[in-house]
Amino acid sequence: MLIYDYIFIFIVLTLSGLGLLFGIVKSFSKFFTLLIPLFISIFSASKFNTELIAEYSFYNGPGSFFITSILLYIILYLFSKLFFFLIESFLIYLNLSLLNRLIGCLSGLVLGGITGIIFLLGVKRFFNIETLFYNKIKGYLSFFFTI
């Protein structure tokens, strides 16, 4: 086994351990709380800026678009944090925190596997090195694609 195989194992075990530690709800909340408000504030800040100017006589000078996008990001961030906090509190109330952590471990294992496969594909592409796990994964994938 090469060092890249050990890195693959480390990626898979780390992400599944983090999934077990945080649970699926907290893992998704960390991911989606940062990304979704960012994308929404980037792509819809101009419309939000226009509505704020038309409805509430918002500041229309230089930097108003930047202020609007920051304001929209903060509002969406707080709402998404509140949403995931309520879901996690509801799961704790129903005493499903162990199930949440086990599903988090499984989703971390899948995410770690996908990330590790992407890593091994990058090693093959850039260094032209076929590792043990790369050959096994390639064999399994070719078996499933021939069915």
- Each residue's pLDDT tens digit, 92-109: 888 888 888 999 999 889
CA distances from residue 1 to 10, 18, 93, 112, 138 in whole angstroms, order as listed:
13, 25, 46, 19, 16
CA distance 75 to 55: 18
Predicted pLDDT at 147: 60
CA distances from residue 126 to 6, 33, 113, 120, 121 in whole angstroms, order as listed:
18, 34, 20, 10, 9
pLDDT (tens digit per residue) in 37-62: 888 888 888 888 888 888 888 888 88
pTM of the model as a whole:
0.67
Please identify every stretch of the chain with a pLDDT value under 50, giving residue numbers as ranges: none
Mean pLDDT, the chain, rounded, equals 88
